[in-house]
Structure 1
């Protein structure tokens, strides 16, 4: 493989690619890529081991631990780099259910778990999302989809989509402490103190209700709790919000009026990682849904379905609510901080504690798929202690990442171009949150394009778990979706496959079985090598005559949390002289979290993540761009490289997450970057439902390195 370029004949992407896609040749051909699995030796080095022998030894150790400590002693973590391989996560999940361990964790609960929590409290609108391509207004809170390609603006070519929308008159409102690439193209950019997203959303809802700009007919027919919401937001007056969030009051009023009244068609409101990291993420997401709902911003009967299924089974969209449902406080209870399972999954920020805390139920083994906890998890020093204390750490990794360097076994997997791919997973995501997914009946299947390198010993990730199944004499039930509340809204039942150690399937055959009930048969999708937007006449149907369900904008738990926010002192206005800046997260256009940061094709000579500071703030501190600084929070400190950036507020600094080395490698920060997670404690300022700690709006000080 020598080059990857956009396909101009693809009807959805039309030649668009991102930097990560174009760098796939360098990623595949990386000299540091693992072509053989590795085993850790007593002296800490890793030596080559055959994949079959590795599975023999791992299976034996797992059986020993389960026999001695019970199934709960084995945990699994699924990171974001498992996404290109739809069978991997599903088979890993099936394996955990097969050994009867509830300890299945994902990256979802260290990013935006509030999305699923909020949907459980609010309910789903079964008519689906409004189409961005037809909307007249849209609001984005703490997200930058021109870079992240994740929320709100369709990610298939977000820049083109936004340009076309603004040219036809759509007005974009962005709330972000930084003038991001997306904010720079907004009609109104609210640039508040960090951590005031709840305040701003509550204030906008209050303004809309006070002026009668809400959709009263939709509310009367489909919504409960409206009066409770109105009372809860009444204290968030324009003057109060403007002062607390440090915004011009007139700009706040203009944003509310524009969103509620501009044009004849409708738009939605979505929040991203930045808003979820700054505490109260569940409430932020809930208020986004409430604002969307009271303005009636959902598809109605007779309108087209924005995201019809193609490789998933056909469904009938209806102009009615699916009521709220139990979203947390059930299932497996962790031994720390009163945390439980929830619709967003098990709280990953507590997994290090579950490893370190001795006693009944202690986690002794961890298997990581497509993840790098040492780079991505909060509280890096605690994570380091936890991973070092495990009796068995297994990673499935393409290189010796920070986590793999600590692992007992590193299984070398095949990569994207060496495996087939399909778009079923891209469809499925719409069941987990609004504002995401494919905005058309689009599907694509891509065969294996290249063979694994000659002489390599690579295994497809899902087959690794099938290999363990054989050696541990298990029976697995493979289900073609998992996790969250998503399955509640799939009208057709999922595909369930029974698997044992004698099961012999290729990935191609597994895909065929996963797609057995697809709206568009997989064979038909294969006939379109460039992908296709299929002619699906999907229209939102009228509500069922006997349907009485309503969306809830007055959830007691959420509104009680809102009351506490009103009682709080504005965090950014405390004037803490010891920690005068607020650190916020920032997406990088070239990296999928911690992957590829060492590749020149992606880092372009900058393998580190700077701390971005307004040049006037840097000058006031006597700091120059490119200088080495120490970033200190109340929890810890990290060295970093300073970079001037006038897109941030004077009292804000920003950094990319998932960089850095091990805790004892700080001297090399210019070579591998800075671990922001080390500034975060998992035991202070955390969400009581998801365990998500404060990972944004972190109070910090910046000083020359050596003077911190």
Structure 2
């Protein structure tokens, strides 16, 4: 790599911050914010600086590892790939295709090559036992997208740059840089909001980093968000504040919503939420009466017992107050590569509940089962039992509920392979580890997070460092395995056409496919002299072809569609290479009803599955509030996933893996700041230092996720020295939101006691 400054996008979270990486003598000398990046404008968080640590990490694996009787041994790629394909094929042949399970971790969505190659790999495996981090994160949002807008990845995002009121519930963008809302420099954008006279309101069981910057803050009891939101909907109807604006022409079933909220006046929901009825009414009025306002919810409202209902109600409140598809409200992006439109064109807008998991009968979503049932499918004998497993850039032992049980499940597999460049808490159970190149050794384009950005942008970066001659990108690993599996499935041979197809795919790689998508998208080509010649034909197809005809879909994706005539044109891979800081494609703008993918072209305000779940919510309302301590997670700006804990600069300083507890609860359980506490549930128990603080509401305790590096046999020296405790060792895996199948990570009851009491009994 040439010495000098190189411009890239940080891939460590959703914010897509631009970085300027200085290289001297073939090594990274510094990582700074790129002041000329049109999206992040020079902002970076501490994680970006750690790109150097992760790239230079001596614990990062470079060659395939094979488990032997003498421990781990390095082997060559051809041997490793042949061995993995043969073992997977053997399990599939003996027990059936569903005897193989797969898990894809969060880093895959930051990697366009892995995303593209993952599809043929999963097809080659043929298994229905697919899992991912999605069900521990965002399924309620995807379900609401599918049910209300007709497409599972049509995410509306806050137009934060133009709003006058932002209400955050169960979200902490100061730490996350946005989640399902790519927003670099949230602090700067918040200051701009407040400087133009706007306000931020935060509702959370913890006074988060975001709450500390808010104009108003309200504690809320974990798991009661749906009741608060229903109280706000009730207020809108009672006080005649419902005003859908232009959306009144493309929505349906408003009367069903009016009936559904009738049992939830603010006075009835107040005792469960911990928020006064007067405050609930004020929140509803402010949302309705502020011209540019938005309501935004995230992990706290998603990964809880009523995650499905809460997310539906958040969307619903934005719609009922005329804030959907309105400047300063909740809007849709128009990305350069429109995966929503591409998916819809091929009939892939999403599906839910087409089949149920073998053991617990949980619904699939988009072809994946909830991750909370992975251990069930491995441990429970019978037809369809998982006997081999593939993990791709994931560490579910630390990121999925009941990690201890999941470890036991992995230990009994016939075979396991991990595509990962770390020997971590999950991959230590594998028989083979296939380490891909590091992110700085491959090209980068954000296919997913550009779909959730608060401004339309596009940026491409070539590899910063040339990988070693014997290295493999993750997309190459997945394609090689898929090719081998297909050949084994066909008796060792493929037809000439298929063989040429595989060779072409491997030769061209994901960047060539990206270039085609950019050129044929709304900002792409053809331009100039070609456009006038083609435009009449496009107009004719629009006039005579049925609305759902494939050719009409194709033209609507292209830069020739008249809806895109005022957008910048000429986008391609070459154009992005000529603009290494990125390209600004403009602010979010109204796009409905053209952006809807429902059958009747209208927003479904009252999907049946949500109405059916109201009986469960009403039973919760009638029940007496629990006195249990309720557990919630938390996020820190220097941490995202477990693999970031092997950077010294990200874990240095005071330990962040602590149990936050209110002073009243600390006194009740005889806990002292700095002492160890035992936290226990039916899933297990952990020991963790106590941090007494008024920043959590009484009756609530908080533990961060991603820690627990105290397992034997991992290869993370820095992480082991800052092991912490895993919150997922005490989160039960039998607790899911029945509407969406999402793991309940927030709001589970726990028992807490001082560790010294246990020690005294053991000594006695």
- Tell me, yes or no, whether TM beats 0.5: yes
Residues 41-80 of structure 1 mapped to structure 2, 5 A cutoff: 41-42=68-69, 45-80=71-106
Aligned with 1:561 (options 597, 613, 622): 613
Instruction: Report if aligned partners of 1:151, 1:270 keep a CA contact under 8 Å in 2.
Output: no
SS at match of 1:505: helix
Cα distance change, pair 327–504 in 1 and its aligned pair in 2 (3 A): closer
In 1, the alpha carbon distance for the partners of 2:505 and 2:254 equals: 56
SS at match of 1:565: helix
Residues 621-660 of structure 1 mapped to structure 2, 5 A cutoff: 621-660=669-708
Residue of structure 2 equivalent to 1:702: 752
Question: 1:602 Cα deviation (Å)?
Answer: 0.4
Residue of structure 1 equivalent to 2:403: 380
Cα distance change, pair 521–313 in 1 and its aligned pair in 2 (3 A): farther
Instruction: Report if aligned partners of 1:329, 1:340 keep a CA contact under 8 Å in 2.
Output: yes
Residue of structure 1 equivalent to 2:197: 169
Residue of structure 1 equivalent to 2:726: 675
Residue of structure 2 equivalent to 1:573: 625
SS at match of 1:247: coil
SS at match of 1:60: helix
Instruction: Report if aligned partners of 1:394, 1:408 keep a CA contact under 8 Å in 2.
Output: yes
Residues 50-449 of structure 1 mapped to structure 2, 5 A cutoff: 50-123=76-149, 131-151=159-179, 154-215=182-243, 218=246, 220-262=248-290, 264-265=291-292, 267-299=293-325, 307-312=333-338, 327-330=351-354, 332-343=355-366, 345-427=368-450, 430=451, 437-449=452-464
Question: 1:636 Cα deviation (Å)?
Answer: 2.1
Deviations 1:76-120 (CA, angstroms, capped at 9, x unpaired): 211012233211133123211123222332100111211111222
Residue of structure 2 equivalent to 1:27: 54
In 1, the alpha carbon distance for the partners of 2:315 and 2:679 equals: 36
Instruction: Report if aligned partners of 1:151, 1:271 keep a CA contact under 8 Å in 2.
Output: no
Asked if 1:533 corresponds to 2:608, the answer is no
Instruction: Report if aligned partners of 2:171, 2:297 keep a CA contact under 8 Å in 1.
Output: yes
Instruction: Report if aligned partners of 2:389, 2:416 keep a CA contact under 8 Å in 1.
Output: yes
In 1, the alpha carbon distance for the partners of 2:332 and 2:737 equals: 33
Asked if 1:10 corresponds to 2:37, the answer is yes
Cα distance change, pair 646–418 in 1 and its aligned pair in 2 (3 A): same
In 2, the alpha carbon distance for the partners of 1:149 and 1:537 equals: 18
In 1, the alpha carbon distance for the partners of 2:681 and 2:320 equals: 39
Instruction: Report if aligned partners of 1:473, 1:500 keep a CA contact under 8 Å in 2.
Output: no
Gaps of 5+ in 2: 1-27, 343-347, 490-499, 524-570, 759-764
Instruction: Report if aligned partners of 2:633, 2:704 keep a CA contact under 8 Å in 1.
Output: yes
Cα distance change, pair 670–630 in 1 and its aligned pair in 2 (3 A): farther
The structure in which a higher percent of residues are helix is 2
Deviations 1:558-612 (CA, angstroms, capped at 9, x unpaired): 123123212225778222xxxx421111112112221121322101145661111
In 1, the alpha carbon distance for the partners of 2:381 and 2:330 equals: 55
Q: Report the count of equivalent residues.
A: 659
SS at match of 2:615: helix
Instruction: Report if aligned partners of 1:71, 1:101 keep a CA contact under 8 Å in 2.
Output: yes
In 1, the alpha carbon distance for the partners of 2:691 and 2:178 equals: 26
In 2, the alpha carbon distance for the partners of 1:304 and 1:271 equals: 12
Question: 1:161 Cα deviation (Å)?
Answer: 1.1
SS at match of 2:202: strand
Cα distance change, pair 525–501 in 1 and its aligned pair in 2 (3 A): closer
In 1, the alpha carbon distance for the partners of 2:475 and 2:620 equals: 48
SS at match of 1:595: helix
Cα distance change, pair 521–502 in 1 and its aligned pair in 2 (3 A): closer
Instruction: Report if aligned partners of 1:402, 1:661 keep a CA contact under 8 Å in 2.
Output: yes
Q: CA RMSD in A?
A: 3.2
Cα distance change, pair 586–305 in 1 and its aligned pair in 2 (3 A): closer
SS at match of 1:21: helix
Gaps of 5+ in 1: 317-323, 431-436, 477-496
In 1, the alpha carbon distance for the partners of 2:484 and 2:107 equals: 26
